[in-house]
Structure 1
Amino acid sequence: MLKWILVLLFIASALYVHFRGAVRHRWNRQLLDHSTFMAPINVLMYAFSRVPTTPFLDDPGRHFPELEPLRANWQNIREEARHLREQQHIKAASGYNDVGFNSFFRRGWKRFYLKWYDDAHPSAAELCPNTTALLRSIPSIKAAMFTELPPGSELRPHRDPYAGSLRLHLGLETPNDDECFISVDGQRYSWRDGQWTMFDETYIHFARNDTEENRIILFCDVERPMKFGWARALNRFIAKHMIAAGASPNMEGDKTGGFNRAFKYFYAFRLKAKALRERNKALYYGLKYALVAGVVALIVWI
């Protein structure tokens, strides 16, 4: 009986995640999306969140007053970001060691990690001392990076897997143009220098830069405030033991998390699967859904 209750709870959570927004993936994509597997935990995060669970949070400073020093010092932060760009340190991963953002690099997106669920990357502490000092003074910021979206580049629609944080974007060097924007659950926001926005990255979102100018922002994952101590402890446990394993290096000497150390082996398998899809789509999708059915059957049998 307990097994069937857990199965039904999982199904109900997955359906809730799928239907909670106005924008949804197709069923065949949602079935294998990482947000489906994280659905029961994410539903807990939504249920016990101390801040609204809307796509965008109006006025981040009201909900997170500790973040105000970032906005107050945005020009100093911008100078360090510009220096990094001039030195070509804001870039795509040099290998298959950034599982969380690997697909983004193919369409022009670039990044430089400042911290990832830990203290600053050594490269960031050396090259961006002022920004990393600011980040260190705000414990609720769990991850941060500079991200670049060059002219003509884009991020395809996706949702992030874990609802334990909220995403902060602070405009540093932007086109200041509505043709450079992010859309979260169908709602658009266009970046502006010195202005910020906060959104729930577990809604489907995408970004485009259809201008002739570059876009650089400070991108932060901020811990979601929870109503109860046990929910806060669960959130921090998952962040420490799962999300932190996604650490990716900027350069030699930076930490690479366990997920990213294993990613190169997974990606080799993925390349073979893509090759199979090109040769025989029917066989590829038949094996794909047979695998899903096998996992479901195993769960039910156990």
Structure 2
Amino acid sequence: MKWVLVLLFVASAVYVHLRGKVRHRLGRQLLDHSTFMAPVNVLMYAFSRVPTTPFLDDPGRHFPELEPLRANWQAIREEARRLRELQQIKAADGYNDVGFNSFFRRGWKRFYLKWYDDAHPSAATLCPRTTELLRQIPSVKAAMFTELPPGSELRPHRDPYAGSLRLHLGLETPNDDACYIAVDGQRYSWRDGEWTMFDETYIHWARNDSAQNRIILFCDVERPLKFGWARAFNRFVARHLIAAGASPNMEGDRTGAINRLFKYFYAVRLKAKALRERNKNLYYALKYLGVALVVAFIVWI
């Protein structure tokens, strides 16, 4: 049985690596968080009730409960504009947002509305209309306003968990093809009042090469699954693992367990980066040794 599980893990990891047209280098994929989540993600793909393509055409047809967001996009935009004036769409104040920490260095900013829970207290106070709309749509598990200023970018990456699909609703955008997201090599340029939905476990990246700012409503929507046991499993993982990535906007908002620990892991990471600058060969040797030890431990047990 142990070897069957090992083979299933390896097969799942290979499938995730080969999925889609755009792929990470093998060395990077071995250390990517999506590799460790591969068996769970393959289960999500196998039992998905919606297509597992990079983009999902016509989100409203697959998720009619989301229509109030598009219908009220101008009211949502006004709350986002007010947040920007207050300078509350911003990078994390400390090392307490492990999921998006690397994005902040390249200009990306966010304001959390909710994260696998009810609205953050700060969001309920500053964005009452948007949080009330979200409260009426239980399939939206996470939501935030995100900003991509001129000259900013997000490097190619894939998200670790396939239990959701990502919705982007344009609020204040350049309305210009120079500001875009690419998912598995397919480009989409944001437009005010228009939306798109995509599978964030494909490799994707974004750039704003225009001269204007971009603000969108960003939502993670629960992936519809074919069987009740699969839906229950998805919600269990979301509640006990993904929810631990909650990050605060300000004091009084919840910080998940993973982000409470992140500052300690980041201190170790800084030392690792310093080692890479001094001795790249030793750095990668230790990195791959760590992976090998984890695999050996799994096989041993």
What TM bracket, shorter-length normalisation? over 0.9
Deviation at 1:228, TM superposition (A): 0.2
Determine the structure 2 residue equivalent to 1:55.
54
Deviation at 1:7, TM superposition (A): 0.3
Deviation at 1:103, TM superposition (A): 0.2
Q: Distance in 1 between matches of 2:228 and 2:237?
A: 14
Unmatched runs of 5 consecutive residues or more in structure 1: none
How far does the alpha carbon of each residue in 1:46-87 deviate from its partner, in whole angstroms, 9 at most, with x for none? 000000000000000000000000000000000000000000
Deviation at 1:224, TM superposition (A): 0.2
Alignment of 1:229-248 (within 5 A): 229-248=228-247
> Alignment length, in residue pairs?
301
RMSD over aligned Cα atoms: 0.4
Determine the structure 1 residue equivalent to 2:275.
276
Deviation at 1:200, TM superposition (A): 0.1
Deviation at 1:15, TM superposition (A): 0.4
Alignment of 1:94-243 (within 5 A): 94-243=93-242
Deviation at 1:220, TM superposition (A): 0.1
Determine the structure 1 residue equivalent to 2:297.
298
Q: Distance in 2 between matches of 1:66 and 1:250?
A: 27
Q: Distance in 2 between matches of 1:23 and 1:159?
A: 11
Deviation at 1:294, TM superposition (A): 1.3
Q: Distance in 1 between matches of 2:16 and 2:266?
A: 27
Q: Structure 2: which amino acid aligns with 1:65?
A: P
Q: Distance in 2 between matches of 1:115 and 1:297?
A: 39
Deviation at 1:301, TM superposition (A): 1.9
Q: Distance in 1 between matches of 2:70 and 2:298?
A: 48
Q: Structure 1: which amino acid aligns with 2:204?
A: H
Partner SS state of residue 205, structure 2: strand
Partner SS state of residue 207, structure 2: strand
Deviation at 1:217, TM superposition (A): 0.1
Q: Structure 1: which amino acid aligns with 2:94?
A: G
Deviation at 1:295, TM superposition (A): 1.4
Deviation at 1:150, TM superposition (A): 0.1
TM-score, with normalisation over the residues of structure 1? 0.99
Q: Distance in 2 between matches of 1:257 and 1:300?
A: 31
Partner SS state of residue 52, structure 2: coil
Partner SS state of residue 12, structure 2: helix
Unmatched runs of 5 consecutive residues or more in structure 2: none
Q: Distance in 2 between matches of 1:293 and 1:141?
A: 38
Runs of 4+ that moved beyond 4 A: none
Q: Distance in 2 between matches of 1:206 and 1:146?
A: 17
Q: Distance in 2 between matches of 1:244 and 1:283?
A: 35
Q: Distance in 1 between matches of 2:276 and 2:114?
A: 37
Deviation at 1:296, TM superposition (A): 1.4
Deviation at 1:298, TM superposition (A): 1.6
Partner SS state of residue 56, structure 1: coil
Q: Distance in 1 between matches of 2:294 and 2:65?
A: 44
Determine the structure 2 residue equivalent to 1:267.
266
Partner SS state of residue 183, structure 1: strand
Determine the structure 1 residue equivalent to 2:31.
32
Partner SS state of residue 163, structure 1: coil
Q: Distance in 1 between matches of 2:293 and 2:136?
A: 48
